[in-house]
């Protein structure tokens, strides 16, 4: 009995442990309350279209000639918006492509809406966009950045596309584990108590003056992060690799602190496609379109896409079926 009293009195080891647990619980509850309030304030203060609910500057974009011979679909990344691509879509539209910069479901509106969005919801949104373009254009190329790269790969495994451009695609994290546990494991352990994680206004960009120009959520729902991790896991599978038979361009930076270059390279090397090109960047962090290597990314994507369609200002020698056949001949040669 005396030993039991010594262990459980307030100044004993068990008492100290009880106080520590109580303090952790109290801090967790306080953090959850404060985070909820901050998210609510952020959502109220964010300018958005009163009809669509979309954040100003996060609207999906349609560029280039409607009667173009081909279309390019841009899929942005985790908590991002079409703004994340900067002026890359504009440059591609100038090449003569019809360009669609989609808004991934759950994004560009409110973090609460993203919290309710599943991996399947996001993938179905991309598939809908691919189907729409596939029904209107002879050629369709999909460009995906970060989580959008995982979504683009998953969509290409289900719907026919003529080319795939993966820019910092999410096949794995640069830092996959912390203190011996995977990031996903930490997220699942924390989720019962932690609903929101602050991100702030600064994007992962080395070019300091551009960090606040990248439009995305300032608060991340843990459920949304888990959905993104699920997409990466699905994309990094033999099922997807075996269906990647189209020409592929991979662009990644050695300094990317978000998505793993090694994981992306290993995944693409397992693609069934015999036509793969790689471009390694050296000065950018993760959102390359706003970073030091932005011009190199534009040049690489524009040059790679030139294999499919005539450049801006040019037209096929003869319109109609012959022009379409010539375009497909170029694509077939690339494959």
Number of domains in the chain: 2
At 231-266, the pLDDT tens digits run 999 999 999 999 999 999 999 999 999 999 999 999
243 and 273 fall within a common domain: yes
Burial label for 106, CB within 10 Å (0-12, 13-18, 19+), is buried
Nearest to 228 by CA among 259, 250, 254: 259
Helices (H) and strands (E) in the chain, counts: 12, 11
Least confident of 98-102, 180-184, 213-217, 314-318: 314-318
72 and 21 fall within a common domain: no
29 and 137 fall within a common domain: no
At 19-37, the pLDDT tens digits run 666 676 677 778 888 999 9
Residue-number span of the structural domain to which 160 is assigned: 61-312+321-334
14 and 77 fall within a common domain: no
306 and 257 fall within a common domain: yes
12 and 114 fall within a common domain: no
Examine residue 56 and state whether it is found in any structural domain, yes or no. Answer: no
Domain of residue 187, CATH code: 3.40.50.1820
Examine residue 147 and state whether it is found in any structural domain, yes or no. Answer: yes
d(CA 96, CA 102): 19
Distances from the Cα of 79 to the Cα of 109, 111, 119, 218, 265, angstroms = 10, 8, 13, 9, 24
Q: 68: which 2 tokens?
A: 């173009």
133 and 217 fall within a common domain: yes
Examine residue 52 and state whether it is found in any structural domain, yes or no. Answer: no
Strands (E), the chain: 61-63, 70-75, 98-101, 139-145, 163-167, 177-178, 181-182, 196-198, 219-221, 248-253, 276-281
Nearest to 211 by CA among 106, 279, 282, 284: 284
Examine residue 177 and state whether it is found in any structural domain, yes or no. Answer: yes
Nearest to 228 by CA among 1, 86, 96, 76: 76
134 and 26 fall within a common domain: no
Q: What angle do CA 266, 271, 275 make, to 5 degrees?
A: 110
What is the distance between the terminal CA atoms of the chain, rounded to a whole angstrom? 80
Q: 14: which 2 tokens?
A: 């068990």
d(CA 97, CA 173): 32
Examine residue 10 and state whether it is found in any structural domain, yes or no. Answer: yes
d(CA 326, CA 239): 32
181 and 325 fall within a common domain: yes
81 and 164 fall within a common domain: yes
Q: Which pLDDT does position 278 carry in this prediction?
A: 98
109 and 31 fall within a common domain: no
Kindly report the pTM of this predicted structure: 0.87
At 76-116, the pLDDT tens digits run 999 999 999 999 999 999 999 999 999 999 999 999 999 99
171 and 74 fall within a common domain: yes
d(CA 319, CA 328): 14
**pLDDT for residue 280 is more than 50:** yes
Distances from the Cα of 292 to the Cα of 37, 152, 183, 319, 329, angstroms = 36, 25, 28, 40, 36
Examine residue 246 and state whether it is found in any structural domain, yes or no. Answer: yes
């Amino acid at each position: 009995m005396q030993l039991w009293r010594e262990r459980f009195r307030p100044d004993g080891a068990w008492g100290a442990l009880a106080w520590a647990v109580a303090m952790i619980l109290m801090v967790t509850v306080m953090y959850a309350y404060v985070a909820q309030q901050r998210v609510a304030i952020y959502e109220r203060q964010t300018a958005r279209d009163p009809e669509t609910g979309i954040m100003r500057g996060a609207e999906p974009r349609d560029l280039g000639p409607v009667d173009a011979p081909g279309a390019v679909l841009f899929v942005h990344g985790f908590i991002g918006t079409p703004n994340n691509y900067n002026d890359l879509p504009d440059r591609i539209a100038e090449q003569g492509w019809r360009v669609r910069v989609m808004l991934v479901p759950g994004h560009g509106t409110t973090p609460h809406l993203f919290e309710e969005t599943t991996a399947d919801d996001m993938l179905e949104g991309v598939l809908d966009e691919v189907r729409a373009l596939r029904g209107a254009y002879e050629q369709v190329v999909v460009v995906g950045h970060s989580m959008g790269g995982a979504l683009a790969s998953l969509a290409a495994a289900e719907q026919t596309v003529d080319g795939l451009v993966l820019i910092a695609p999410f096949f794995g994290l640069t830092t996959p584990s912390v203190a011996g546990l995977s990031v996903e494991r930490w997220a699942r352990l924390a989720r019962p108590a932690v609903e929101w994680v602050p991100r702030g206004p600064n994007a992962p960009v080395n070019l300091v003056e551009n960090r606040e120009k990248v439009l995305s959520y300032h608060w991340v729902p843990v459920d949304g992060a888990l959905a993104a991790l699920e997409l990466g896991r699905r994309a990094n599978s033999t099922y997807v690799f075996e269906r990647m038979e189209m020409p592929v361009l991979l662009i990644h930076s050695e300094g990317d602190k978000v998505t793993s270059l090694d994981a992306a390279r290993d995944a693409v090397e397992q693609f069934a496609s015999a036509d793969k090109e790689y471009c390694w960047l050296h000065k950018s962090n993760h959102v390359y379109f706003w970073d030091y290597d932005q011009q190199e990314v534009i040049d690489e994507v524009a040059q790679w896409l030139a294999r499919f369609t005539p450049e801006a200002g040019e037209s096929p020698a003869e319109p109609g079926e012959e022009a379409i056949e010539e375009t497909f001949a170029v694509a077939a040669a690339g494959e």
